[in-house]
Amino acid sequence: MSLLRLVFLKPPLSQYVPGGTMAFTVALSNDLGDNEALEKGEVPGLRIEVSLRRVGTVDWVAVGQVPLDAHVPVYSGQTVQVSVPRRLPQGLYQVRLAHHSLSQVGPSPILGAGASILRDAPPLLLLPIVSEVFTLGHGASKVQGIPTTHCYRELPWTMKGSTDPLILQESCSDRTLGGRVWDASLVTLSFLRALFSEGRVISTAPPVPSGWAIDQLTDPGLWQRLYSVKAQTNHALMERVRIDLGIQSSPLKEPGSKECGEQSRVIELGSGCGVVGLALARRLGPKGQVILTDLDEVLEETTRSNLSLQAVPPLPEIATLAWGDIQAAERIQASLKGPVDLIIGSDIIYNAAYHHDLLHSLRALLPPGAWFLLGYKPRLPQEEGEFFRLIHAAGFRGSIIWSEGGLYTWAWKAPDPHGRSLTLPNGYLAS
């Protein structure tokens, strides 16, 4: 399953006035920017002009259609609606992308020659995949003397009575290391809303069949069978994580041992723009501790900028961590107020060359019995499946805890030194 991004080759500026037109150019790419035809200039950008009309005395609305036929002919008749519902106080436009269903059936260039596209069940989605508002604006800075252009994203984050959105700066270029909010992090946000929700999580059909084996994860067909636009949760595993983090009380324990999870200590790996860590820090409050980690250049160019944009404290800490650097991991451990409760990472296993280093960092940072949450977007299951084999061989046990729009959140529990196996109903977390 593939989620494609509308790449704004020329981001819309904010100087337009009602009654005029706003023109910008878009093209298709995935969230890694992997579109060789686009890079070679073989796929033309689509220029769209949107007319602006005033609504009331302050806001205005603009609507236009972007056809996808020029990029992938089999999607003939499919369009994306682009609307600008209002102007932000900062002078940025909110651009909402609405997906329209396919109008024909045909072979799929994404799923392979043997697959078909079913009417009204497209195999691709267009961001934002969780119905959030995508905000584009114009900003500029220099990285090593090279001018860069920034876009901005506003993500609603209503939790603990706060309605202030997360404001994020990201690169308008898909090729900027750690500079984009990737698909899996948006699904991780959706999962966190459920994880920290009041009361019990409503049980739905588990997204993984019972009795699955690690080797199955290398089969692209598995991910196609599991695909569901509607969010699904592994209720038994969700309950286990919530109890361990103190979010939900256990019948066998005194309730509120960690005050609803607010004293949790969390490390995010490969933070990039920092959207997940920022959301967690806001949810946990001043009693919790969240540390965002990434490479130096990512932290300086992207992560620090996004911390400065937030209007609501508390903010997470940041620390440099190259996977496999055990000394850096030890420095991070020394800065913690106690043992790590949770490590989280979104879209961090797409490059098989770093699987071993990632596992080394996990083992260095994660104490026995703590949790590792992985936001996963299947791209090349044959290669990405190697990480699942490695972490399983290292003694971690886990399964899918959340599924939404063809993306998944995994929950892995660190090895128990006493050798106790972890088992949940239907074969989940089997040793």
Q: Does 37 or 297 have the greater pLDDT score? A: 297
Asked whether 124 and 89 are in contact (CB, 8 A), the reply is no
Span 285-300, pLDDT tens digits = 888 999 999 999 899 8
pTM above 0.85, yes or no: no
Give the model's confidence band at 215: pLDDT under 50 very low, under 70 low, under 90 confident, else very high.
confident
Superfamily of structural domain 183-427? Vaccinia Virus protein VP39 (3.40.50.150)
Share of the chain above pLDDT 90, in %: 24
What pLDDT shows up at residue 370? 94
Residues ≥6 apart with Cβ < 8 Å to 32:
174, 350, 379
What is the structure's pLDDT at 257? 44
Sequence ranges of the domains in the chain? 2-127, 183-427
Q: Which residue has the higher pLDDT, 16 or 207?
A: 207
Specify whether the CB–CB gap between 371 and 341 falls below 8 A: yes
pLDDT given at position 15:
40
Task: Determine the pLDDT at residue 184.
Answer: 85
pLDDT for 144 beyond 90: no
Residues whose CB is less than 8 angstroms from the CB of residue 60 and which lie 6 or more positions away in sequence, other chains included: 18, 52, 53, 54, 84, 86, 87
Give the pLDDT confidence score for residue 301 in this predicted structure. 82
> DSSP states of 268-295 as a string?
EES-TT-HHHHHHHHHHGGGSEEEEEE-
Residue among 86, 288, 97, 312 at smallest CA distance from 186: 97
